[in-house]
Amino acid sequence: MPGRDEWWRNAACYEVYLRSFADSDGDGIGDLPGLRSRLRYLRDLGVDALWITPFYPSPQVDHGYDVSDYTDVDPRFGTLGDFDAVLEGAHQMGLRVIIDLVPNHTSAQHTGFRAAMAAGPGSPERGRYHFRPGQGRGGLRPPNNWRSAFGGPAWTRVPGAEGQADEWYLHLHHQEQPDLNWASPAVGDEFESVLRFWLDRGVDGLRIDVAMCLAKDPRYPDLRRGDDRHPYHNRPEVHEIYGRWRAVLDSYPGDRMMIAEAVAPDAAGLARYVRAGECHQVFNFAWLETRWSAADFRRIIKDTLDAVRAVNASPTWVLASHDAVRTVSRYATSGPNGNAVGLERARAALLVMLSLPGSAYVFQGEELGLPQVDVPPSARRDPAWVQSGGSMPGRDGCRVPIPWNKGEQSCGFSPAGSSAPWLPQPQSWGELSVADQERDSSSTLAFYRKALRIRRTVLGGLDDGVVILPSAPGTLVLARDPGFICVLNCGSRPARPPAGDLILSSTHRPGSLLPPNSAAWFHTGGTNWVSRR
């Protein structure tokens, strides 16, 4: 639409995992005033937008992804006034704010679910969730074979009151996270008012949690490998929901956006979420799941660009999130220097990600080069760890609170004299603190700041096209017009860079050759790589 500023198309977005970002009141849990006090840090980092994980009232069984009230703030995180202050402060600094909406499930403590439990079988209240009779004699077996993402069956049995039948309710995640029934018109209407509540307050965007699961096959069939249509993933009805939301967003002034958290079998499946009249973006997790390989990166880039271009959308790139092993550890090699290699690779991957057209999503702490923490089993809090009986490692290791200063209690995450942070920080955490890295011009933080600044100033002026140039095995060479080249070396030998001026290198050892596990940006005069082809 002419006159629109589609800021999200090329934004660098920073994921604030609120519980672990900055604690202002000393309870060991990050909060909105803590975030507000660190907005300047984010502005100076050079990102364009923040995505804040859920801060709504919640029993915190899944750390906020179990919402008991969609239009308020949990006292642990502050008040609605604190949210408004974060929004206003961010806007004053030129930062957009994306909030996290959780429409697939509520908390079991949500008034709607409590009413459903009280109302009994066949009631309209139960119709807003998925209550079903069990199978077999006495309905003692779950309605089907669906499994919870955190382990165990996706159904929990509810004994009937006097004279009433037992039923089971669906929860694709924890049993305290019952799935909403989006076939019920009341659910759609309620969410439209939730959307309006936050859009009226001025949020710039919405991240849609588990966006591909909202529609379920009304026959509730067993899940069978190889079935043409999954009973609850990426069903056609789900797109009608986002069409309705898009119309709501478009009716607001300014450029409001929504990004779907979805997984699909391929890039084309994901691109269905960003067709005209639906979501603006969809997270592209392919990179986050791939090993360190130039060939794999090449394939992901090509598949992603082909798929989003076919629907005229813009791509997203994600290296890390609060659900995944941190990049440094994911790319670490075995052996004593493993994490050092992991850090070199993480820095190189960042340069590749930032050199691509589209938006880049950065997870808090990646700019400090934080590794995954091996949280002692007794301190782990992730429901995936708890509910799976320890068979899933859980995601606590990437969620350890941010080290702001060395030497201070909780590394400056909480004020002095506070409760211990909700997840323990390792001994070495302070060495990686923001304060220490700000003093060191060769730190990962300094590198991130430089890369983000160049991305905004220099790369922001490049055309949207990108070509993958032929290159030696183990390397990847991307070119954008006019005259920009990014080279990545995943091989085991040094690689020859293109003729041109070095803009930025990920390695501390720049020379005439590009060492293994590094990447660099070059300017090659006025060369037009894309249009020449």
Name the residues that contact ligand NOJ, by CB under 6 A.
Answer: 62, 65, 102, 173, 209-210, 261, 322-323
| Residue 308 in tokens | 């989003």
Q: In whole angstroms, how close is the CB of 64 to ligand NOJ at the nearest point?
A: 8
Q: In whole angstroms, how close is the CB of 47 to ligand NOJ at the nearest point?
A: 19
| Bridge partners, residue 523, by sequence | 484, 501
102 or 488: CB nearest ligand NOJ: 102
99 or 462: CB nearest ligand NOJ: 99
Annotated catalytic residue within 125, 167, 209, 344: 209
Amino acid letter, 460: G
Q: In whole angstroms, how close is the CB of 322 to ligand NOJ at the nearest point?
A: 6
Q: Find where tokens 């320890």 sit.
A: 390
Annotated catalytic residue within 74, 179, 261, 344: 261
What is the distance between the alpha carbons of residues 471 and 487, in angstroms, rounded to a whole number?
9
Q: In whole angstroms, how close is the CB of 207 to ligand NOJ at the nearest point?
A: 9
What is the distance between the alpha carbons of residues 331 and 346, in angstroms, rounded to a whole number?
7
Q: Would you call 209 a catalytic residue per the annotation? A: yes
- Collapsing DSSP states into helix, strand and coil, what is residue 406? coil
87: number of CA atoms within 13 Å, CB side?
A: 16
Q: In whole angstroms, how close is the CB of 100 to ligand NOJ at the nearest point?
A: 8
Q: What is the DSSP letter of 129?
A: B
351 or 384: CB nearest ligand NOJ: 384
Q: Is the dihedral of CA 257, 33, 402, 423 positive or negative?
A: negative
- How deeply is 523 buried, as exposed, middle or buried, from its count of CB atoms within 10 A (0-12, 13-18, 19+)? middle
281 backbone dihedrals φ, ψ, rounded to 5°: -145, 160
- Name the nearest CA neighbour of 448 among 347, 342, 345, 325: 347
Q: Would you call 261 a catalytic residue per the annotation? A: yes
212 or 343: CB nearest ligand NOJ: 212
Residue nearest to ligand NOJ (CB): 65
65 or 155: CB nearest ligand NOJ: 65
Q: In whole angstroms, how close is the CB of 265 to ligand NOJ at the nearest point?
A: 19
Q: For the chain, how many helices (H) and strands (E)?
A: 14, 16
- Collapsing DSSP states into helix, strand and coil, what is residue 519? strand
383 or 515: CB nearest ligand NOJ: 383
Task: For residue 525, count other CB atoms closer than 10 A to its CB.
Answer: 10
H/E segment holding residue 259: strand 257-260
| Residue 27 in tokens | 């309870």
Give the catalytic positions in this structure: 209, 261
